[in-house]
Amino acid sequence: GAGVSQTPSNKVTEKGKYVELRCDPISGHTALYWYRQSLGQGPEFLIYFQGTGAADDSGLPNDRFFAVRPEGSVSTLKIQRTERGDSAVYLCASSPNRASGKGPGEQYFGPGTRLTVT
């Protein structure tokens, strides 16, 4: 079946502009995650959705970052007044419901959106 998809694959924007990054999770997955990955580092957690609600947004770096998932499927990560330090690969992952007694569900990652702020 189809995996997690992210659009666009690449986005170049000027400092100060607004950007939206889209994530289409695997059909039926209730949990959705956003991560940010800078060159040479592991992915950094940003936000996690369970259904339509943000269950944990503790990783969002500041109030310029916001994410929504209005119908519990597609999610959009929104960045206002972009800064050069926002340049990174933004990864999305989805996960099925946790199977009882088998640990947290494994996450399936998309290919990422490479954001470059000039």
Partner 1 sequence: DAKTTQPPSMDCAEGRAANLPCNHSTISGNEYVYWYRQIHSQGPQYIIHGLKNNETNEMASLIITEDRKSSTLILPHATLRDTAVYYCIVRVGNDMRFGAGTRLTVKP
Q: Is 34 in the site for partner 1 (CB under 8 A)?
A: no
Binding piece for partner 1, criterion CB under 8 A, among 14-22, 64-72, 73-81, 110-118: 110-118
In the structure encoding, which two tokens stand for residue 38, read together? Answer: 């800078």
CB of 54 to partner 1, least distance (A): 12
Task: Please enumerate in sequence order all residues whose Cβ is within 8 A of that of 98, keeping only pairs 6 or more positions apart, or say none.
Answer: 104, 105
> What is the rounded CA–CA span in Å between residue 44 and residue 86?
13
Binding piece for partner 1, criterion CB under 8 A, among 10-18, 61-69, 71-79, 93-101: 93-101
Q: Is 56 in the site for partner 1 (CB under 8 A)?
A: yes
Q: Is 100 in the site for partner 1 (CB under 8 A)?
A: no
Q: Is 51 in the site for partner 1 (CB under 8 A)?
A: no
Task: Please enumerate in sequence order all residues whose Cβ is within 8 A of that of 54, keeping only pairs 6 or more positions apart, or say none.
Answer: 47, 48, 67, 69
